[in-house]
Amino acid sequence: MADSFVVRKLRDIKHRGDNVRSNKLIRKLESKPVNEILKTGFIVQMPELWGTEKSVYEIMCSDSRFEPWLIIVPKFDISSGQIEDNVGGYYINECKNSKMIIARKDGKWSDIDLDSFDYIFYQRPYNYYLPEHLQSGQVTAHARVCYIPYAIEDIKNAGLFEDDFFRNVFLGFHESDDIADLLNSKYPSDNGKRFLSIGNPTQEKAMSLNKKCEYSKVMWAPRWSTDPVIGGSHFPDYHKQLSDFPWGDNKLVIRPHPLMWENFIRKNIITEDEKNNIIEDWKQKGIAIDDNTSIFDTFNDTDILISDRSSVMSIFIMTGKPVIYCPFGSDYFELFDKTVSGCYIANDWNELESTVRMLLSGEDPLREKRLGISNELNLKYNHSSEAIVEYIYTDSAKYKKKEVSEK
């Protein structure tokens, strides 16, 4: 018990010290003037997450007040713990204005003039996947770090947030008041609120998804980790049962989290051979593994979602189509709590099987409840991307170079 007390105290001391350093760097940025045309970077690495920032980036590309750049980092290999030597072609093709920086090529890192940037956006709040010189603690010494969540941050235990990332955020754009309040409390600033609840581009994009439901095409989205603290995965529990389920003329598509297979093999949850056997079994039974880069493309062709705890639930519910939630049990923030209230809950296989059968028959008692939630979220998150772009520009006015008048 004494040792754990000492460890907690040392952690608290380090946390306070790191916060003091980060606040000093952020205060220093208050005196750094911005460019006449705002040079804004987007550190991008995972194509699956591009939908979160894409609309903000594209608005800036067509706005003469901004000069957006893609800073393209190669994929992180979770098995080896290494970043690959070269970037793929995805983000090169996504670049709309020819302004991009290839962060690594043929095993060598490129020189990046971080001081030339006014704002730099991150895709996810994990420094571990990035090279040291592009981690938030380094970048915040040069440019104003911004973050738009790629996932709904649903766990109320503030200790699970990534201290080494969030303490360096200059502006965070979040989906609900309670999470913004929590982050502002944990990472206080002398210069006002850094974390804002002004919208969510992912929710905004979800408004345009296909809303027609034929109660036939089912998607299962198992989580990447079996740890219940970070959501839990029912993949080991249900992959065989869902494979053996009599789908008939209906269709099942499985979209594992991008990190699931690698993480399960690394943690010895399954072997490589077991993975291959599972995939072969699905193939023999006509069950597809979704290969779309963007989950929005898949959702356009999905009627029913089965999901572990995941932000994809809050995206899919915008269609008004049914969601079956497979919980491990936890507390939620405002948006996720609202989403769950419109979902069917399956605590075990018997409940999941009976709910799937009910929905495939066209019986859907929660339909009106979901439509009400969808309409409410539509009103809140409409024009989120434009709101973020305008906030950045308004914020930049504080740092414009002051003209000295001649006497």
Instruction: Give me 306's structure tokens.
Output: 């089965």
End-to-end CA distance of the chain: 69
Number of H helices and number of E strands within the chain? 16, 17
Q: Could you tell me if 353 and 338 are in contact, meaning their C-beta atoms sit under 8 angstroms apart?
A: no
Tell me which architecture the domain covering 208-381 has in CATH.
3-Layer(aba) Sandwich (3.40)
385 token code pair: 């991307």
Q: What's the alpha-carbon Rg for the chain, to the nearest Å?
A: 22
| CA angle, 345 then 207 then 379, to 5° | 90
Backbone angles phi, psi at 242, to 5 degrees: -70, -30
pLDDT at 161: 59
Closest-CA residue to 282 (of 226, 223, 242): 242
- Do strands 82-83 and 100-102 pair parallel, antiparallel, or not at all (unpaired)? unpaired
* Token reading at 337: 């709590």
72 has which bridge partners? Answer: 44, 102
Does this model's pTM top 0.85? My answer is no
The residues, any chain, with a CB within 8 Å of residue 363's CB and separated by 6 or more, are none
What tens-digit pLDDT sequence spans the chain (407 residues)?
Answer: 345 655 555 555 566 667 777 878 888 888 899 999 999 999 999 998 998 999 999 999 999 999 999 999 999 987 788 999 999 999 999 999 999 999 999 999 999 999 999 999 999 999 999 999 999 999 999 999 999 988 765 445 545 556 789 999 999 998 888 888 888 988 887 767 899 998 788 888 888 899 999 999 999 999 888 887 777 899 999 999 999 999 999 999 999 988 899 889 988 999 999 999 999 999 999 999 998 888 889 999 999 999 998 888 888 998 999 999 998 765 555 567 778 889 999 999 999 999 999 999 999 999 999 999 888 877 777 789 999 999 999 999 999 865 434 33
| Residue 406 Cα to chain centre, angstroms | 50
The residues, ordered by sequence, that sit 6+ positions from 264 with a Cβ below 8 Å of its Cβ are 224, 235, 270, 275
31, burial (CB in 10 Å: exposed 0-12, middle 13-18, buried 19+):
exposed
For the record, the structure tokens of 212 come out as 């027609």
CB atoms within 10 A of CB 11: 12
In CATH, the number for domain 32-205+383-399 is 3.40.50.2000
DSSP assignment of 133-193:
GGSHHHHTTTSEEEE--SS------GGGS-HHHHTT-SEEEES-HHHHHHHHHHS--TTS-
In b/e form, how buried is each residue of 45-61, taking b as 16+ CB within 10 angstroms? bbbbbbbbbbbbbebbe
CA angle, 317 as apex, 330 and 377 as ends, to 5°?
Answer: 95
Residues ≥6 apart with Cβ < 8 Å to 401? 33
Residues sharing a CB contact under 8 Å with residue 299, sequence separation 6 or more, in sequence order: 206, 209, 210, 219, 305, 315, 316, 319
Domain regions of the chain by residue span: 32-205+383-399, 208-381
CB of 335 within 8 A of CB of 175?
yes
Which H or E run includes 119?
strand 119-122
The pLDDT, as a whole number, for residue 2 is: 43
